[in-house]
Amino acid sequence: MKPKYRFFSNTKYALNGVFAMLKAEMSFRLECLFVCPLLFVAFLLEISLMERICLIGVLFLILIAECFNSAIESCVDLVTQEFHTKAKIAKDCASAGVFFAILTAVFTWGLVLINL
């Protein structure tokens, strides 16, 4: 039987995930060191609302990609600790997702800042 949806319980699970990421994932902490100050910068810039939304959105995209990357890596590690080509591909592809999220953020911020 599927458990009932409970907004506050599900929010608690999400926050537990954020705290787990902060505790266990150095890359997430490093990304937060860049994302948090840039969030404030996004609000200080004299830009349109749409540009501000894009700047903030791509910052959160990095954190979202990192969460998925960590989840995939944890699942792969749970299944096997031995080297396996397909496990490496899964981890590498998840890492590529983070890489592309960071490239998207750099490109977006660059375009917005160049047009100031």
Instruction: Just list the catalytic residues.
Output: 66
Positive or negative: CA dihedral 15, 77, 33, 50: negative
Largest CA distance in the chain: 55
E strand or H helix at 107, and its extent?
Answer: helix 85-114
Angle (CA) 69 74 80, round 5°: 125
Closest of 37, 51, 57, 60 to residue 113, by C-alpha: 51
Q: Are 55 and 108 in contact (CB under 8 A)?
A: yes
